[in-house]
Structure 1
């Protein structure tokens, strides 16, 4: 699937979910998807880094909206803690949570917190693919 089609799929997933669509954050998430789409045209290290940033911000905010809408308490507001909460609620299996932690969160943290760390194009695409998979799983199971 092309990046463009993947982003379009993410738009449909977000717009099609009542919990997200009814949220005050729905426009913010849509804006982040527009930014992600725009940076895809930059086929260089800066563009790939921005792609990781926007990809993970979409997932982070979307999971926060879903968890809040379900009324599930969280003491930490981070992508990793949202995945743990989804595991606790049996939305994700422990294996899935651990896998997404490794494939998305750990990589995102490396690129966002380590000076000089830059993803290459394939890694940026892989993180987007993994994010879409995670979001699809969560939305399918959370309702």
Structure 2
């Protein structure tokens, strides 16, 4: 970063979430009052609507999304549980390539109840099943 090889951008959490969400939805941008009057708004388009100033924010696409799911089928349909349902669905949809690690079972196509599928397999590129012992390599715990 200090050598100018990497760009960094400070983004308020709500704006970050919305930028990812609109990327997933295919929306070209949105206006927010969040950063008006701060350094974060410098150089960005401003628009006044109904007496209030807004800043234009653009979608934030990802090259890769690393997502954790509770369960998946072999097509890539995903079920989440607890906090996995927070940003995992929109990240999977906003990324060019989505890699999913699955905690529980990877079941046959048709075994997941469609009413409980949180992300369609069309957004999933790779599935990795977490081993029973949770160890990814030949290394032993504590090594």
TM-score, length-scaled by structure 1 = 0.18
Greater share of strand? 2
Greater share of residues in helix: 1
TM-score, structure 2 as length reference: 0.18
Look at both structures and tell me which one has the larger radius of gyration over its CA atoms: 2
Structure with more contact order per residue of length (Cα contacts < 8 Å, sep ≥ 6): 1
